[in-house]
Amino acid sequence: QVRLVESGGGLVQPGGSLRLSCAASGTFSSIVVLAWHRQAPGKQRELVASVSSGGSTNYADSVKGRFTISRDNAKNTVYLQMNSLKPGDTAVYYCYAEPLRQGRTYAYWGQGTQVTVSS
């Protein structure tokens, strides 16, 4: 079993910054993919950013140039630095991980952390 613990959400004014963290614990040899998704009220969950074990990153067009995803493999932790936040970024942000165990990957989600951008 793998546990994902998120932190760093909250209320911020437009133009402000927040940093989300997600720490993974459990039994696995490595984590192939770490990512952040988000879901706004009345909308489908969408990928925000992902980072592979090799460091390759992928971003949604709506956050390119404003958000930065990074990972610390020694700590099994993924971060999402969010700058120049907009009201449209308001959503519940979910951590996602694909750990590798006995030659197979599995999908795990965190419980989510609320990010609200409002004046």
pLDDT at 1 over 90: no
Query: Averaged over 105-112, what is the pLDDT?
Result: 96
Q: Which amino acid is at 116?
A: T
pLDDT band for position 8 (50/70/90)?
Answer: very high
Output the six-digit token pair for 61: 């067009």
Contact 99, 105 (CB under 8 A): yes
User: Measuring CA to CA, how many Å separate 114 from each of 60, 90, 97, 104?
Assistant: 19, 8, 19, 31
Instruction: State residue 25's pLDDT score.
Output: 94
pLDDT band for position 71 (50/70/90)?
Answer: very high
Output the six-digit token pair for 3: 């546990």
Average pLDDT, the chain: 96
Output the six-digit token pair for 7: 């932190």
